[in-house]
Structure 1
Amino acid sequence: MAEAGRAQFGPLIKKFKADKVKNANVIVDFLQYLESSDLKNLKSGMNGLQIIFSHLLREGDIKTPSELPDDLMRASEKFNNWLYERYNEVHEKLRSLLKHEGSAVPEMALSAIARLLQVEGLHPIVKKGVGGTRFPNNRLQALINDLVSQETDHQTCIKKLRDYMECQDFMYFTLLSLSSIVKKYKGEKVTEMYINNLLLILEQMNITEIKDDMIICTKLFLDKSEGKADSEEARTLQASRLPYTKAKKATNTIWNEFITYPLTPDIYRRCLILIPDKVIHHLDKPLRLTGFFMDAYDLGGAISLLALQGVFILVNKYNLDYPNFYPKLYGLLEPTVFHAKYRPRFFMLMERFLASSHLPEYIVAAFIKKLSRLSLVAPASCLVLILKFIANLLIRYPGLQKLIHKPDADVFDEDPFDPDEADLSKCRACDSSLWEVSTLKQHVIPSISKATGFLEKTLPTIEYDISELVETTYEEIHEKSCKLKVHDTVPTTFHKPQGLFAHHDDKMSEVWSVM
């Protein structure tokens, strides 16, 4: 059957289109191909069934099944019922292939399902009235329900959904489907696989534009490019708008339940990136996330920083009273932060957290001094970033420029600053100096020693842009150093050598000789 199926693929399609009633068994043949273990047969079956049923949908040959008894139905109604049953069977078999062990098969099955959804949406089986949706919600929900599996990792397929999620109508109905799925599992124990599959889909969702409580669909899954929509239909689709209130309600349902799940550190990390950027502004009660963010903070490391970003948003936009925010941020300033994967994000967020000019000076002084102390142990690739960051804080808070001008406070044993004091008001940063930064004036790397220039020159009025420095690597430092021009008059030795060992005050020749 394998070779015959591949050879007759094109003729079978033509044969069916010529007389669908007489050649209806072509559908059965292609359905059998979906049972094959041969990849080419599977592909032929999926492509053939997609083409056949897309054709039937466009021609309006698949209708709502008749509920009359068999003996009262006409032959055309019986044939229609048979086509409807086969169409349902196609969707069921394609969804079952999402769990296929072959890496290519699940993606092909997903593409076939999506194509059929698109055609059915433009040529619906069930005709909707005025204001009704064309989208085949029931079939989409069945697909999403299979992807959000408790047992199977659907990472590959879900990532392929990204292409469709760019369409606001597809994203909207997927969101409603996820809301129903989450309700179904409410109060039940869910697996880590389910949580990961669900989050993978949520990560691809983004409501891009809202106007007058409606989601504006600028890019549509059901659009005229399908090929045969008339101009009036195309204009209607291009002007499509979806109710934001339903999307918001679904978002609240999903996330209020999601944050109660047992989450791994990796899931926490991904949630803490996603929620502040795409979720929090859609929630009815964002302050409910406070406990979630604090639980994440207790995990330590980069996750703590991401958690503080969420807390900062709650403090800044939603009036959360959280006086321990800056002490917790200060506690994250450890040598390990310079080696963390999220170092760029850390400094960009810290720049944002310390952007207010209304912070007490003792808080900012503590951060300046802690960064100065860390510069003694930080890798060279981070030093320019640290120095520019300190300079920005001094520009922002001119009263703290007194830390630069304390020539007598340059001995470590006499430094009043206590780096181990958690209370920022008691660490005595304001009484200290920037002697640590002063030591970097002698650094061997020119760009680092140059960055300490603010100790001896007037600080600029405009802050430095640190976004270009947060990802500096040793390779970039080396490349930049190699491009520096060296003057010919720079001495490299005190005495001109006369040979390998014959030079002034030679000691090597006493123990070595050239053979």
Structure 2
Amino acid sequence: MSDNNKPPAASRRTMKLLLKQYKDNRVKNANIIVDVMQRLESNESGSITSAITGLHQIFTMVLIHEDIQLPRDNLPESVQSASEKFSTWLFARYTETHNRMLELLGHKEQGVQELALCCIVKLLQSEGQHPIKTTPGIYPFPIERLEALVSALVVDSVDNQHLITLLFEYLECQDFMYYSLMAVNRIVKAHKGKDITEVYMNNLFLFLEQFSLPEGGSSKLLIQKLLLYPDSDEKVQEEESTCEKKTSPFTLPYEQTSQCLGDIWEEVMKYSLTPDLHRRSLILLPDKVMPHLKQPVQLTGFFMESYNRGGGLSLLALQGVFVLISKHNLDYPDFYTKVYAMLEPTIFHARYRPRFFMLLDRFLASSYLPEYMVASFTKRLSRLCLVAPTPCLILLIKFIANLLIRFPGLRKMIHNPHATSVERDPFDADESDMSKTHASESSLWEVASLQQHTLPYVAKAASFINRNLPIMEYNIGEYVESTYEEIFERNCKLTVKENVPTTFHKPKGLFEYHCDQMSQDWSMV
């Protein structure tokens, strides 16, 4: 190869060698930063990922050694010293690197996108731990760089859900979560009055689903995770064990955070939600948003409209409506009547069946509910035992047992000699008014019939009515998601006695065995 065709010396050096040379003399070999940045323009993803890793290590060293010290009072370059000019140059290269990483979030290779995102977050952490600019009394989080990252992810035209998912572990940190929430609030306000795309909504919702605020602020957290101080939770535990108290480096401003969350959802509720986002909103609002709103009753229209639509939306809106009734004095006397009407065989095939039964257990937890109402629910569940899929039977049995434990007055329903069959049962299954169903006069003969079930563990569970009820209630959550696969695995583990007789006569063929009526009436063609 001729000298004219040889690649530049910098491009022939490996990244490992470049990093070693830079580490040996960060000032003399500062131009290595430019050489590595040029590799970001390569067409090969391997070269780009190597450059990203190299820049991350270089600027981590720069931040740790505090090589960037910006001149005070924005002095003109003509009066800056050599060290100040070098520091300004480093800061410009650091900013340029951050901007290039943001651009690489749109690279065609997903591996490059993900590595660039991780590099940005790690540099955010390093810059926060070794701030370039410090202001006394202000938490040194690089807010502007985080806002640029969030703005690059919550966009109108590119689906960035795979990248936003990578931030989930960081959103568990209170400082990262708080400043991300502020950034999302600014983005939502900037979109006010503009056309909202489905892509933008999907990106936005993925962020909203991960914001988990502690009620009352950071003081309510047993362990506070921080991005800039990852070991702070361990120190807090050590201080608590030694009865020492120390102020946390970051305190979540709860009032400001809850106000910000409310402002975001006030705008989101004005959007035209897709069916999927509508369902996700009904799941998200009761647990993660309503406890922090100053006026949750403003969501009444949204929940009531969803509740009245029927189907899956009605099921998902149950929790929000119940929260409004129990905690915010919403007057809705037909709530339990509509829940009672949902107890149909189709509920076992609904997508959100586990959620429904967990909520139903919560709805029927109050000791102030009238006995006739709980009796109607108990009898309705008992009747459903006759048509429910096998994986749901244990759930129904345990649910009924819990209601009998919770409401001792219903134990008279276990044995009622006047109700032993459908014909003699006073319970009116078609009556929608629970005060007229006569459930209290009925018995749980449906549960008793399950004692003859072909699966031994179902028959054993149903035999609870023949014994004294336990003191503690069963954990319904253990049974809400039972499947046929679990039933199969359970039965495969059962021990079977040896020499179990299966037939007394050895069959001669498919339709030829002893005393078989079918072989006499049918033949193979």
Q: Same fold (TM over 0.5)?
A: yes
Residue 99 of structure 2 corresponds to residue 89 of structure 1 = no
Answer yes or no: is the 8 Å Cα contact 1:210–1:216 preserved in 2.
Answer: no
Residue 99 of structure 1 corresponds to which residue in structure 2?
Answer: 106
**Matched residues in 2 for 1:444 and 1:109: separation?**
58
Answer yes or no: is the 8 Å Cα contact 2:170–2:227 preserved in 1.
Answer: yes
The alpha carbon displacement at 1:363 in A equals 1.7
**Matched residues in 1 for 2:286 and 2:267: separation?**
17
Residue 230 of structure 1 corresponds to which residue in structure 2?
Answer: none
Residue 374 of structure 1 corresponds to which residue in structure 2?
Answer: 384
Residue 151 of structure 2 corresponds to which residue in structure 1?
Answer: 145
Residue 368 of structure 2 corresponds to which residue in structure 1?
Answer: 358
1:44 aligns to what SS in structure 2? helix
Residue 122 of structure 2 corresponds to residue 123 of structure 1 = no
Residue 239 of structure 2 corresponds to which residue in structure 1?
Answer: none
1:179 corresponds, among 185, 200, 207, to: 185
**Matched residues in 1 for 2:478 and 2:152: separation?**
44
**Matched residues in 1 for 2:368 and 2:427: separation?**
23
Q: Structure 1 pair 54/477, CA: closer, same or farther in 2 (3 Å)?
A: closer
Question: Superposed, which structure 2 residues align to 1:181-200 within 5 Å?
Answer: 181-200=187-206
TM-score where L is the length of structure 1: 0.84
Residue 341 of structure 2 corresponds to which residue in structure 1?
Answer: 331
**Matched residues in 1 for 2:45 and 2:8: separation?**
10
**Matched residues in 1 for 2:513 and 2:103: separation?**
83
Answer yes or no: is the 8 Å Cα contact 1:213–1:245 preserved in 2.
Answer: no
Question: Superposed, which structure 2 residues align to 1:456-471 within 5 Å?
Answer: 456-457=466-467, 459-471=469-481
The alpha carbon displacement at 1:42 in A equals 0.8
Residue 283 of structure 1 corresponds to which residue in structure 2?
Answer: 293
**Matched residues in 2 for 1:70 and 1:504: separation?**
107
Which stretches in structure 1 are left out of the alignment for 5+ residues? Answer: 227-234
Residue 41 of structure 2 corresponds to residue 39 of structure 1 = no
Q: Structure 1 pair 319/102, CA: closer, same or farther in 2 (3 Å)?
A: same
**Matched residues in 1 for 2:414 and 2:231: separation?**
65
Question: Superposed, which structure 2 residues align to 1:243-392 within 5 Å?
Answer: 243-298=253-308, 300-392=310-402
Q: Deviations over 1:294-343 (max 9, x none)?
A: 23334544443332112222322333322222122223212222123433
Over the matched positions of the two proteins, sequence identity in percent amounts to 51
Q: Which amino acid aligns with 1:429?
A: A
Q: Deviations over 1:464-508 (max 9, x none)?
A: 443333233334434444566677899867xx5498699986778
2:263 aligns to what SS in structure 1? helix
Residue 237 of structure 2 corresponds to which residue in structure 1?
Answer: none
Q: Which amino acid aligns with 1:46?
A: I
1:472 aligns to what SS in structure 2? coil
The alpha carbon displacement at 1:132 in A equals 1.6
Answer yes or no: is the 8 Å Cα contact 1:147–1:158 preserved in 2.
Answer: yes
Task: Tell which deviates more after alignment, 417-426 or 287-296.
Answer: 417-426
Answer yes or no: is the 8 Å Cα contact 2:447–2:462 preserved in 1.
Answer: yes
Answer yes or no: is the 8 Å Cα contact 2:69–2:84 preserved in 1.
Answer: no
The alpha carbon displacement at 1:107 in A equals 1.2
**Matched residues in 2 for 1:14 and 1:426: separation?**
84
2:439 corresponds, among 429, 443, 449, to: 429
Task: Tell which deviates more after alignment, 385-394 or 144-153.
Answer: 385-394
Residue 242 of structure 2 corresponds to which residue in structure 1?
Answer: none
Q: Structure 1 pair 96/490, CA: closer, same or farther in 2 (3 Å)?
A: closer
Answer yes or no: is the 8 Å Cα contact 2:372–2:435 preserved in 1.
Answer: yes
Answer yes or no: is the 8 Å Cα contact 1:58–1:119 preserved in 2.
Answer: yes
**Matched residues in 1 for 2:19 and 2:513: separation?**
92
The alpha carbon displacement at 1:440 in A equals 3.0
The alpha carbon displacement at 1:119 in A equals 1.7
2:227 aligns to what SS in structure 1? coil
Q: Which amino acid aligns with 1:440?
A: L
Q: Which amino acid aligns with 1:119?
A: S
Which stretches in structure 2 are left out of the alignment for 5+ residues? Answer: 1-6, 233-244
Task: Tell which deviates more after alignment, 63-72 or 186-195.
Answer: 63-72
The alpha carbon displacement at 1:416 in A equals 5.1
TM-score where L is the length of structure 2: 0.83
Residue 440 of structure 1 corresponds to which residue in structure 2?
Answer: 450
Equivalenced residue count is 502
Residue 232 of structure 1 corresponds to which residue in structure 2?
Answer: none
Answer yes or no: is the 8 Å Cα contact 1:53–1:87 preserved in 2.
Answer: yes
**Matched residues in 1 for 2:330 and 2:170: separation?**
37
Answer yes or no: is the 8 Å Cα contact 2:218–2:251 preserved in 1.
Answer: no
Answer yes or no: is the 8 Å Cα contact 2:139–2:250 preserved in 1.
Answer: no
**Matched residues in 1 for 2:70 and 2:490: separation?**
70
Answer yes or no: is the 8 Å Cα contact 1:162–1:204 preserved in 2.
Answer: yes
Answer yes or no: is the 8 Å Cα contact 1:416–1:429 preserved in 2.
Answer: yes
The alpha carbon displacement at 1:103 in A equals 1.7
Q: Deviations over 1:217-253 (max 9, x none)?
A: 7332112879xxxxxxxx9996433422222222222
Residue 231 of structure 1 corresponds to which residue in structure 2?
Answer: none
Question: Superposed, which structure 2 residues align to 1:22-101 within 5 Å?
Answer: 23-64=29-70, 67=74, 76-101=83-108
Answer yes or no: is the 8 Å Cα contact 1:54–1:119 preserved in 2.
Answer: yes
Q: Which amino acid aligns with 2:55?
A: L
Answer yes or no: is the 8 Å Cα contact 1:46–1:109 preserved in 2.
Answer: yes
Q: Deviations over 1:75-114 (max 9, x none)?
A: 5554444333322221111011112221211110011111
**Matched residues in 2 for 1:385 and 1:215: separation?**
34
Question: Superposed, which structure 2 residues align to 1:465-504 within 5 Å?
Answer: 465-481=475-491, 497=505
1:203 corresponds, among 196, 199, 209, to: 209
The alpha carbon displacement at 1:161 in A equals 1.0
2:169 aligns to what SS in structure 1? helix
The alpha carbon displacement at 1:135 in A equals 0.8
**Matched residues in 1 for 2:191 and 2:373: separation?**
46
Answer yes or no: is the 8 Å Cα contact 1:363–1:425 preserved in 2.
Answer: yes
Q: Which amino acid aligns with 2:196?
A: V
Residue 175 of structure 2 corresponds to residue 169 of structure 1 = yes
Residue 251 of structure 2 corresponds to residue 241 of structure 1 = yes
The alpha carbon displacement at 1:142 in A equals 0.8
